[in-house]
């Protein structure tokens, strides 16, 4: 069992509960200021989770109903990627591929596409909808770390880093499968955005009775938000791993409160 007093970002001992929510407790690290909840997902192994939920018509209709909104944003993400990399023939990995929209868009551009999605229902939907086989093994698995070391031209994580159990390890594992000079592009919510700071203020002023958005930002439910980075924390992390931040989209006052990083693997530290 994980000791949540040990920071999930810097591994310093001494993290303490900061916000007590209805379904989770937010811990804060005194050394690096990282915020995360006291919960880890029990991750499925390989493809064995496929029996947990079947892709029936109700599930298919629900996923189909969400596709237009997701595709609109992912097409914008695609244009961002194309400003830095020619996708024709590029070897690409989408981590946390969901219903397979972004792998499908990459394939339309002529890319060689791989994708990771631990939830079997989304893998089955992607197979039926787009004819793309996603993998259930997460990026730390030997399938990727031994079989695809220094292989990919591009790795993407769209709205993923806030969901994984250990984000620093996820990024290190992604670094390992990117070739020198290859690209990492990701987006994730920003904790030093205005909506988060207002929620913190409300929590303090109300003695914890009114946490505003904090209740919706964090959840112990499977594959929900476990941590949220500040801009500085995320940039420092990717740079410490061996990436250079090439482009940064940072608009904390806009509704999405997202930060988007375009990073390149440094060429002097091997594959």
Q: What is 125-184 written as a DSSP string?
A: HHHHHH----B-S-TTSHHHHTTSTT-EEEEEEES-TTTSS-HHHHHHHHHHHEEEEEEE
Task: Give the lowest-confidence range in 3-17, 86-100, 165-179, 255-269.
Answer: 255-269
pLDDT tens, position by position, 31-85 = 999 999 999 998 765 444 444 467 888 888 989 998 988 899 999 999 999 999 9
Q: What is the mean pLDDT of residues 80-106?
A: 97
Q: What is the pLDDT of residue 47?
A: 45
The pLDDT assigned to 101 comes to: 97
Task: Please state the separation of Cα 247 from the chain's center in Å.
Answer: 18
Query: Domains along the chain?
Result: 1-38+191-228 (no CATH), 49-190+230-269 (3.40.50.150)
Higher local confidence (pLDDT), 262 or 59: 262
Q: What is the pLDDT of residue 252?
A: 55
210-253: per-residue pLDDT in tens?
A: 999 999 999 999 899 999 999 999 999 999 999 999 999 876 55
CB 237 within 8 A of CB 174: no
* DSSP notation for 13-81: B--EEEEE-SS-EEEE-TTT--EEES----PPPTTGGGGSS---HHHHHHHHHHHHHHHHHHHHHHHHH
Other Cβ atoms closer than 10 A to 85: 18
pLDDT in tens, 152-189: 999 999 999 999 999 999 999 999 999 999 999 999 99
In eight-state DSSP terms, residue 226 is: -
Query: For position 54, what pLDDT does the model report?
Result: 79
pLDDT tens, position by position, 194-216:
889 999 999 999 999 999 999 99
């Amino acid at each position: 069992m994980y000791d949540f007093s040990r920071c999930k970002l810097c591994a310093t001992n001494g993290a303490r509960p900061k916000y007590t929510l209805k379904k989770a407790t937010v811990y804060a690290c005194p050394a690096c200021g990282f915020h995360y909840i006291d919960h880890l997902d029990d991750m499925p192994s390989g493809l064995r989770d496929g029996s947990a939920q079947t892709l029936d018509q109700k599930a298919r209709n629900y996923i189909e109903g969400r596709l237009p909104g997701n595709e609109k944003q992912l097409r914008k993400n695609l244009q961002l990627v194309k400003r830095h990399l020619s996708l024709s023939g590029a070897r690409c990995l989408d981590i946390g591929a969901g219903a397979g929209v972004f792998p499908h868009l990459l394939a339309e551009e002529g890319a060689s596409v791989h994708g990771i999605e631990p939830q079997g229902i989304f893998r089955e939907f992607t197979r039926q909808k787009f004819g793309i086989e996603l993998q259930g093994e997460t990026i730390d698995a030997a399938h990727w770390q031994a079989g695809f070391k220094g292989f990919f031209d591009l790795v993407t994580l769209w709205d993923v880093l806030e969901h994984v159990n250990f984000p620093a390890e996820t990024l290190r594992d992604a670094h390992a499968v990117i070739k020198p000079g290859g690209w990492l592009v990701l987006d994730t919510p920003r904790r030093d955005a205005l909506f988060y700071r207002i929620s913190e203020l409300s929590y303090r002023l109300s003695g914890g009775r009114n946490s505003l958005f904090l209740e919706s930002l964090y959840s112990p439910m499977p594959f929900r938000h476990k941590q949220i980075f500040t801009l500085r924390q995320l940039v420092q992390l990717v740079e410490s791993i061996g990436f250079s931040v090439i482009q940064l989209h940072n608009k904390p006052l806009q509704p999405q409160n997202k930060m988007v990083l375009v990073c390149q693997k440094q060429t002097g530290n091997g594959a």
